[in-house]
Chains A and B, each alone.
Chain A
Amino acid sequence: MSELSSQLAADLPENTGISPQWLKDIRETGAAEFRTHGLPTRKDEAWKYTGLGSLGLAQVQLATASNTTVGDWQQPSPLAESNLQLNLLDGQILKQAGTVPSGLTVLPMAEALDSGVNGLQVLLESLSIKGTKGASGHGFSALNSATLDSGVVIHVAAGVDAGRLGFTWSTSQGEQPMLFNSRICVILAQGARLELLEQFESIDDNANTSNIVMQVDLGKESNLQHIRFQQETDQSVLITRTEVSQQAGSEYAYFGFDLGGGLVRHDLHTSILGEGAKSGINGAYLLDGNRHVDNHTRVDHFAGGGFSDQYFRGVASDSGRAVFNTAVCVHPGADETEARQSNANILLSARAEIDTKPELEIYADEVIASHGATVGQLDELAVFYMRSRGLNEQDARQLLTTAFCKSVSDKLADPVLSEVISQRMMDVMPQAV
């Protein structure tokens, strides 16, 4: 184990007095796992391209109830209006604005653990924290479970359309970089609908690490639109894991936009458990400077007639480094599944690097599957065409790269939000160097 892992393990909170017992079990199991394996290392296949050296160098410290105070802090302004807006600071709810529609329950994790929310225990217990073959691939999840007490629980009652719920995530700037753990649970009962708009954006520069696990349980015919916009500061580290389970006829649509951050890792996994469920997983990542963005997505089709589409676009310049690993597994019996994977990238400098790997395993019949991954440069003829109309070279290139990434934001149902995000992408669009 690294020095950092040992230090974090030593700082894990005591579990005396934690109740109920199942919560104590989750925390103890997490702690035991973490004490054994620690944080992932490059020896783990899933972390081959992503090292955590920067956390060790920053001597990041585990945030606990005793060394954290949630104070007043400057918050980013939301990208778009929401029915209900939550500002989260250092992994905890700081402020809540708007109205809570009937049928929607939004509670701080600690309160939800106290009062109990339908399906919460089962959901929390379902998180796998063991890495494959005894590796530490899920070390962050183990750490997250070992400290489980903060975050948010969202429940939408059957048949209710809860509209848009907005989250802004930011971290505060202290004397020492901190590691914040937070857990989000989203439970949609049968036929429920929700749009979750997450925005990661710290106003003040910091070298904090956020370790956030989101667990989503989608009931029959329910629908979750999940938009994640990330423009964190240059030094910050954002480690997130999203686990989605989908019952029959449910729909999960994810749109991720990575515009910032120093080191960003997102593991997104959906399990299609019921017939005819749909998963659309879309993302764009824009990198310059020394940014490192690693997206690992996986769809497991356990039931037939399902549909999954993974669509990612990436641009890297300067010394930016992107990793994209997308996997689909169509398990025995998941017949008549349709699975698509598409990842295209543009490299704008010789030092930038993009590693993309599609994986496809099929053990069922009547499956339609397609996958493609490309890494290339801008179309020089298109650049010339635009210049021949009067645009300068820089603008022409910026417009082309924005258009490339805009194919992701264009998929958003809300044209206003789509426009806001495409403008934000244009503002930070990496330039060729």
Chain B
Amino acid sequence: MSIMLKVTNLHATVAGKEILKGLNLELEAGEIHAIMGPNGAGKSTLGNVLAGREGYEVTKGEVIFNGKNLLEMEPEERACEGVFLAFQYPVEIPGVNNTYFLRAALNAQRKYRGEEPLDSVGFLRLVREKLEVLHIGDELLHRAVNEGFSGGEKKRNEIFQMAVLEPALAILDETDSGLDIDALKTVAEGVNRLRSKERGMIVVTHYQRLLDYIVPDKVHVLADGKLVATGGADLALKLEEQGYAWLEDGGIATLDVETAVQTANP
């Protein structure tokens, strides 16, 4: 398997404060990695840095995505190269129709790849197809982007955008936050339908609950700006059981879990 994403010794600051302090991560195509950790560990920062959000300054390290230096690219280039961030707080854009926006985004990406733009008929066909697969009604299509959407609708809309844009790498930033159990299942189902051999996913979450529905290949623990432990899906269960107190009590060795290993940090 080839490495899709290789993050090496990533340091990043927000408003002058160092949040990521030497993060290393390798993800292969087809894999789903979960990143868990206590509040303030830097989980959301990682997603924002990878997507290229302004104000998140990388001070050291590199990110290679499909052989290219991701950090040199503008946010839209990253998107066109196949990086997709599902926002923790999707942004409301009053006055911009959801369908219009998504078609403009898709056609911008197609143009980047040297493909013909989809006309409105072709686009609508694609949209119907995706809605059916995701079991989402078409009521979101006619409204302005996220405007007045409930929390669940916003998250479903993110998954819907992901389905239409078909990214190579999807980063789901606390997509489960603020969802009730039914909305959570719908979103997780959507994500599972988008699993494929070609696609990598990073699922950032505070709680284990989402991972009952999206079973990851690997689970990482992010604490104080670094990955401190890596394991299989069972690591998430242990975390749910035992919390994050072990981080301060002497490390992963004190956590009763077979597969997890302390992550080596430079």
Contact = CB atoms under 8 A, between A and B. Distances in A.
B79 A380 contact: no
Given A388-B51, A390-B105, A403 B74 contact: no
Nearest to A407: B95
A380 B102 CA distance: 19
Chain A: number of interface residues, binned into ranges: 20 to 34
A168 B54 CA distance: 46
A393 interface: yes
Contacts of A379: 91
10 tightest A-B CB contacts, nearest first: A403-B95, A389-B105, A385-B91, A390-B79, A387-B75, A390-B109, A390-B108, A403-B96, A390-B105, A387-B76
Contacts of B108: 390-392, 395
Nearest to B87: A385
Contacts of A384: 53-54, 75, 91
B104 A391 contact: yes
A200 B89 CA distance: 44
A386 interface: yes
Given A380-B54, A384-B54, A395-B104, A389 B93 contact: no
A403 B143 CA distance: 13
Nearest to B102: A389
Which of A380, A391, A406, A410: most chain B CB closer than 10 A? Answer: A391
B165 to A, nearest CB: 7
B44 to A, nearest CB: 13
Contacts of A391: 76, 104-105, 108
B161 interface: yes
A18 interface: no
A388 B74 contact: no
Interface of B: 51-54, 74-76, 78-80, 84-85, 87, 90-96, 101-102, 104-106, 108-109, 112, 144, 161, 165
A404 B93 CA distance: 10
12 contacts: A381-B91, A385-B90, A388-B76, A388-B78, A388-B87, A390-B112, A391-B104, A391-B108, A392-B108, A399-B104, A400-B93, A404-B95
Interface in A367-382: 379-382
B32 to A, nearest CB: 20
A311 to B, nearest CB: 13
B113 to A, nearest CB: 10
A59 B84 CA distance: 59
A399 B95 CA distance: 9
Contacts of B80: 390
Contacts of A407: 94-95
A235 B108 CA distance: 36
A400 B96 contact: yes
A84 B104 CA distance: 37
